[in-house]
Structure 1
Amino acid sequence: MADKQEIYDVTIIGGGPVGLFTAFYCGLRELKTKVVEFLPKPGGKVSMFFPEKIIRDIGGIPGIAGAQLIEQLKEQAATFDPDFVFNQRITGFKRLDDGTIELTAATGETHYTRTVILACGMGTLEVNELNHHDASAYAGKNLRYTAEKLAEFQGKHVVISGGGDSAVDWANELEPLAASVTILHRREEFGGLESAVTKMKQSSVRVLAPYSLQHISGNGDIIESITAVHTETGAQEVIEIDELIINHGFTIDLGPIKEWGLDTEDGRIKADRHMRTNLPGVFVAGDAASYESKLKLIAGGFTEGPTAVNSAKAYLDPHAEKMAMYSTHHKKLVVQ
């Protein structure tokens, strides 16, 4: 059947930041490339949850909003015209007699490829919703699970429940805009970069830790106040609010990919320093990858993607150069 459909050199599963940059690098290596994304558009969780978050840990870019970064990565990826497929979750993996890999989507479509690069993050993402009997009634009103449009919080009293990097970043982004920002965290220690936590604690953000969100009160249309409880003493405080942001993490699942026979560790796919998995012709990059000294930043994924591509190129052609020429030398990129 493989001979009846186009066979790609590389199929990238995942169209987030790492998948997009990996597609660009595939073009530098002159590999025919397809990107398959579960969501209806590229960008992954950056597009879904952090379009206005300012990203500051990519070399050479002092700061860039998530949505802008994705737009630039899309433009860059389009340089070599890879094919994109959206709204498809790859579930099946089969190696045919001639070595071609057949990928099957949950919708039944099939894709044929000589190699696969998994840039799927840690799989599908589902927000951990607030465990409160009235939460669903206020979701989408002034109970939110992301701060997509910062301007909507202008002049408002905002409470953030959570202590991870996203909660800290949102507190810092909203502090200049909102009338007040209060953050509740069940532990005294916050996640995220040390500099971001320090900035938050030195700003006007009110930090309540260790506190947890115990109760929400509203009029049936919007939440009017929340009750915070000290996790050690049990002391309670009622706080009037305009907006409540819940950042209690995500449920992340590799799903059917776990059944392919890949070696995994703590929900991630084991890789060597060449981004090779235990399956021949299958490579990994970005949040999905697990190896010693892993750098859990987009910038780290921007190195892992090209490394995976170079390994795929070597798998397809053992005599190929170990890496691409510098982009400044590529005929398609040289300014005439």
Structure 2
Amino acid sequence: MFEKRLLVTGGAGFIASHVIICLLERYPDYLIINLDKGDICDEHFMKLLFEIERIHIVLHFAAQTHVDKSFWCSSEFKNVNIYGTEILVKAAYQANVEKFIHVSTDEVYGGSIKEEFSETSPRCPTNPYAASKAASECVVMSYWENFKFPVIVTRSSNVYGPHQYPEKVIPKFIALLQRNRKCCIHGTGNQTRHFLYATDVAEAFLTILEKGEPGEVYNVGTNFVLSVFQLAKELVHLIKETVSESELELWIDHVNDRPSNDLGYPMNSKKLHRLGWKPKVPWEEGIRKTIKWYETNFHNWSDAENALAPFPSSVLQDGCQQL
């Protein structure tokens, strides 16, 4: 008999896959149910899943997450991130789940270069992805406000490490350089991002699972920050070891910027620190592990090569277009 039955949505994805590994190691008496092929937008399926599996805890990772894609396929983001979350949290509430952890993003705050966002900072999303995640937070928190259903919202900085689909900036730059191609930077590359290694974020979710309070929001952030241009330079040095400082620009290509590109997302994570979590993996260690993993695992995805294209030059407002 299992002590707890825990549902992870999107468990075959990047961050959730690391969380599942940690869960299996930490809680051998838990049954971990990975929902990745099923559709969270299917109300009948979700209701049946909770009835059959008798789930105690939900970690909701499943989402459309790529900012670039959200500009030209916004309807898909609304459907999965907002409507799908509504279907899921409703089914969990009706099944009397003990804890529902909703995974959001620092991007709901909007951009900043000076102001450090706390959990009480206003949400001001500037792209369709961030807007859909902000809306999904409202859906989830309404179940706490109206029914005291024990939900928790998390907002994390950019995460990197093994298993990440190469549409995101770090695996994309790594894969391009490993194929003797240039890093494609949106605009100037002066926008900054805070980077957390995947196992650190996984540990944060376990901390929140164990100690997080219902109805609360937790920032999962780091003080380590790089501009996208600095990131590209570091990766060139690490992957193309013989490249001199004067040759760096030969491996960088500035392409058209996306319609909105926030300058940065500095977050205050002291609230989570008080629960006992802080990031442990230094950038130098994490990025070398990541580079090594992509040397042999890039082709885990059948369409990985398509992900290496820069942001499409023509943005469609009504519907999707294939890169």
Which category describes the TM-score, using the shorter chain as reference length?
under 0.3
> Normalized per residue, which structure has more helix?
2
Higher relative contact order by CA 8 Å / sep ≥ 6: 1 or 2?
2
What is the TM-score normalised by the length of structure 1?
Answer: 0.26
> Normalized per residue, which structure has more strand?
1
Q: Which has the larger radius of gyration?
A: 1
